């Protein structure tokens, strides 16, 4: 994957397997109430974030679209990801859901659209038809890039074997207590960029002694150290915060580096500890 500079100037971009570039640092809006989302997203855009990660299930696509429209940024300068709701995997449902996503965002395209969860125990285990529907969206130009989220290597194998399009990204839970080496290696082999969700494990890793020691050594906060660790591994991150000071803190990670020992020490913290669900058994469908 190549590197280039994003519109924000300081944020590197990762080139995806379809040639599109994604800013390596973005802003996540999971668990931001719809009423707070436009203000938080506007603040993030003001700070310099040019990549927003939302989902139909977060219930705040409309407010993300409003923030982009009000920000003064041109649409092409902001990379926006959304995701298919778990209730809409059947192709006709997926088409209707994607139409609604574009209406709610008030966009004529999204930069990246993902299958949010594989749901292998639902829909007769058929996430392949769902993937083929996302391929249609990409051919129509309404999703510039398409990918998946929470897919394990055996789920990805089926997409590669049964369709002609390899996902551009796989967005997975990934942080120092869940380093996901097997899924990352699969992505590296097959040109699937890895996106790390809950990159600071929703705060869980910030009190870790090893991370605190590295933070003291480099004169940064634990969150900055963890986000920097992700960047140096080549993964894409989009930490969430509703606090402007933390949004800025999480953005200021391009003017220091971690040495090989610091990197290895943080990677060695892995405990294969999930804070979210197991993709092989997760079967939640919103009412």
Ligand X SMILES: NC(=O)c1ccc[n+]([C@@H]2O[C@H](COP(=O)([O-])OP(=O)(O)OC[C@H]3O[C@@H](n4cnc5c(N)ncnc54)[C@H](OP(=O)(O)O)[C@@H]3O)[C@@H](O)[C@H]2O)c1
Q: Which residues bind to ligand X, rule: CB under 6 A? A: 28-31, 53, 116, 149-150, 171, 197-203, 206, 223, 238-243, 246, 249-250, 276
Q: Determine the residue with CB nearest ligand X.
A: 28
- Residue 205 C-beta: closest distance to ligand X, Å: 9
Sheet holding 193-197, edge to edge: 27-28, 51-53, 79-84, 110-115, 143-149, 169-173, 193-197, 236-237
- Residue 222 C-beta: closest distance to ligand X, Å: 7
**Which of 58, 109, 123, 177 is flagged as catalytic?**
58
Q: Is the separation of the CB atoms in 200 and 175 below 8 Å?
A: yes
Q: Considering the complex, state which of residue 30 and residue 123 has its C-beta at the smaller distance from ligand X.
A: 30
Q: Is the separation of the CB atoms in 156 and 147 below 8 Å?
A: no
Q: Which residue has the tokens 């109430």?
A: 33
Query: What contacts 40, CB < 8 A, 6 or more positions away?
Result: 29, 32, 67, 241, 242, 247
Q: Considering the complex, state which of residue 102 and residue 226 has its C-beta at the smaller distance from ligand X.
A: 226
Q: Considering the complex, state which of residue 70 and residue 243 has its C-beta at the smaller distance from ligand X.
A: 243
Q: Considering the complex, state which of residue 49 and residue 186 has its C-beta at the smaller distance from ligand X.
A: 49
> Rounded CA gap, 186 and 36, in Å?
37
- Residue 182 C-beta: closest distance to ligand X, Å: 18
> Rounded CA gap, 201 and 11, in Å?
22
- Residue 151 C-beta: closest distance to ligand X, Å: 10
Q: Considering the complex, state which of residue 28 and residue 120 has its C-beta at the smaller distance from ligand X.
A: 28
Q: Give the helix/strand (H/E) hosting 23.
A: strand 21-23
Q: Is the separation of the CB atoms in 82 and 101 below 8 Å?
A: yes
Q: Is the separation of the CB atoms in 199 and 230 below 8 Å?
A: yes
- Residue 47 C-beta: closest distance to ligand X, Å: 13
Q: Which residue has the tokens 């890039």?
A: 145
- Residue 109 C-beta: closest distance to ligand X, Å: 19
Three-state SS at 30: coil
Residue 177 appears among annotated catalytic residues: no
The interaxial angle of helices 153-162 and 181-190, nearest 10 deg, is 20
Q: Considering the complex, state which of residue 8 and residue 32 has its C-beta at the smaller distance from ligand X.
A: 32
Instruction: Please list the active-site residues.
Output: 58
């Amino acid at each position: 994957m190549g590197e280039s500079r994003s519109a924000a100037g300081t944020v590197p971009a990762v080139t995806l397997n379809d040639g599109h570039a994604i800013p390596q640092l973005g802003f996540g809006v999971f668990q931001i109430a719809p009423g707070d989302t436009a203000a938080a997203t506007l603040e993030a855009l003001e700070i310099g974030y040019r990549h927003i990660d939302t989902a139909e299930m977060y219930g705040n696509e409309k407010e993300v679209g409003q923030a982009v429209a009000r920000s003064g940024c041109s649409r092409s300068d902001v990379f926006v990801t959304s995701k298919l709701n778990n209730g809409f995997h059947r192709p006709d449902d997926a088409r209707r859901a994607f139409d609604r996503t574009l209406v709610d965002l008030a966009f004529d395209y999204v930069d990246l659209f993902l299958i949010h969860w594989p749901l292998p125990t639902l829909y007769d285990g058929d996430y392949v038809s769902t993937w083929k529907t996302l391929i249609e969206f990409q051919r129509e130009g309404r999703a510039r890039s398409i990918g998946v989220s929470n897919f394990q290597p055996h789920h990805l194998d089926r997409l590669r074997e049964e369709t002609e399009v390899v996902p551009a990204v796989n967005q997975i839970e990934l942080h120092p207590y869940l380093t996901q080496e097997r899924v990352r290696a699969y992505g590296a082999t097959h040109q699937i960029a890895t996106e790390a969700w809950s990159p600071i494990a929703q705060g869980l890793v910030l009190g870790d002694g090893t991370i605190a020691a590295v933070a003291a050594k480099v004169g940064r906060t634990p969150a900055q150290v963890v986000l920097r660790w992700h960047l140096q591994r080549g993964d894409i991150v989009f930490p969430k915060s509703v606090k402007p000071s933390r949004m800025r803190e999480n953005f200021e990670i391009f003017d220091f580096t971690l040495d090989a020992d610091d990197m290895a020490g943080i990677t060695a913290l892995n405990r294969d500890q999930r804070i979210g669900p197991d993709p092989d058994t997760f079967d939640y469908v919103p009412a």
